[in-house]
Amino acid sequence: MSRTEGKNLRVVVYEGAGSQPLPDEDRFAMISSLLAEGFEVTRAAPGGDVADADARTMLVLGRFDEKSPPTARGLDGETTVHFRDVTGVPAEGVVEVAREVRGETGARDLTAWKPWFPVIDYDRCTNCLQCLTFCLFDVYGVDGKQEITVQNEDNCKTDCPACSRVCPEVAILFPKYRKGPINGDVVRAEDIQREAMKVDISTLLGGDLYGSLRTRQRSARERFSTERDESKALLERKRCLGKLKKDLDIPDEVLMTLPSAEDIEARAERARLKAEKRRARSTTVADTKPAPTEDDWGI
């Protein structure tokens, strides 16, 4: 199962009729431990509204007065509800119970990843497709309406916000980034002046980002092949890429795992052709469409 597949188990903490109320401290310990383990948690309370069931499996935990059935069918006939009595079970034990049910039901079991991927602010995006051309890892694509979209979240390199730096509209967010406006904070006038930053990037890289990456990579590779001391070569490569890292905030790991120069070249060319073709197609469609008549406008 990839990081972006599967469904988390939803756990309902039930304290209504037929179940003893939990002491505040126990409720908090239980819910926070479950969240830390990647479960979704619903605290049910009389008269309170929560999200409707969306999954086929659910786990209901409570300090039940009577022995509850281990599983039951939901009213829709499709949802399977598992009940577990957790009377006297401490928070860690409750997590263990939930893990067991997760294992039995095949729900997603994935706790160690940082969901890191670009999120597009379509109020700002102008569909210039620069991000598509820039990203080397096929994170971006276009949808049926030829609009930019994030299609392979899983391909994005953790902690690398480089594409957001090349977006002329400051339209790319990484919600888990430490600073604004990339983290979703309000875009201020000075951020918009990053149109100038775009220029800075090309200056930094001698006007041709891919060219620079290629050169840097080639020289690093040559050093690798001629130097027997690999760690020394690695250090040297890191030093060469330092400026790039500093200015674009690209993590070492990404710089060191860049595809081969040929791959980068082929990828850039493919993206450029794709974008050009799309632009040509949309121009042709727009040009061949007859001008709207007064009838079309309803006047």
Distance of closest approach, residue 283 Cβ to another protein, in angstroms: 27
End-to-end CA gap in the chain: 57
Of the ranges 7-15, 118-126, 152-160, 201-209, which one interacts with ligand SF4 (CB under 6 A)?
118-126
CB nearer to ligand SF4: pick between 63 and 198? 198
- What residues form DSSP beta bridges with 149? 141
Segment lying near ligand SF4 (by CB under 6 A), choices 126-134, 192-200, 208-216, 252-260: 126-134
Q: How far is the CB of 42 from another protein (least distance, A)?
A: 5
- Minimum CB separation of residue 284 from ligand SF4 in Å reads 21
**What residue ranges bind another protein (CB under 8 A)?**
3-8, 10, 24, 27-28, 31-32, 35-45, 47-55, 111, 113-117, 119-122, 150, 153-154, 173, 175-178, 180, 183-186
Closest contact distance (angstroms) between CB of 103 and another protein is 17
Does position 162 interact with ligand SF4 (CB under 6 A)? The reply is: no
CB contact burial 92-129 (16+ within 10 A = b; e otherwise): eebbebbbebbeebebbeeeeeeebbbebeeebbebeb
Residues contacting residue 176 through CB under 8 Å, at least 6 positions apart: 114, 115, 116, 183
Least distance (Å) from another protein to the CB of residue 173? 6
Q: Using alpha carbons only, what angle is made at residue 184 by residues 181 and 189, rounded to the nearest 5 degrees?
A: 35
Q: Is 148 in the site for ligand SF4 (CB under 6 A)?
A: yes
Applying CB under 6 A, does 126 fall inside the site for ligand SF4? yes
Nearer to another protein, 10 or 214 (CB): 10
Does residue 81 contact residue 69 with C-beta atoms inside 8 Å?
no
- Interface with ligand SF4 by CB under 6 A: which range of 32-40, 53-61, 165-173, 228-236? 165-173
Q: Are 216 and 244 in contact (CB under 8 A)?
A: yes
User: Smallest gap, in angstroms, from Cβ of residue 124 to ligand SF4?
Assistant: 7
Residues 6+ apart with CB under 8 A from 91: 26, 29, 30, 32, 33
Identify the H or E element spanning 216.
Answer: helix 209-226
Instruction: Please report the beta strands in the chain, taking only residues with DSSP state E, as ranges in sequence order.
Output: 10-13, 19-20, 40-43, 57-64, 71-73, 80-85, 119-120, 140-142, 148-150, 172-173
- For position 33 contacting ligand SF4 by CB under 6 A, the verdict is no
What residues pair up with 62 in beta bridges, in sequence order?
85
Nearest to 172 by CA among 214, 132, 215: 132
The contact pattern for ligand SF4, residues 213-242, with x = CB under 6 A and - = no contact, is ------------------------------
In whole angstroms, the minimum distance from the beta carbon of 231 to ligand SF4 comes to 36
Closer to ligand SF4 by Cβ: residue 173 or 233: 173
- Give residues in contact with ligand SF4 (CB under 6 A): 120, 125-131, 148, 167, 169, 171-172, 175-176
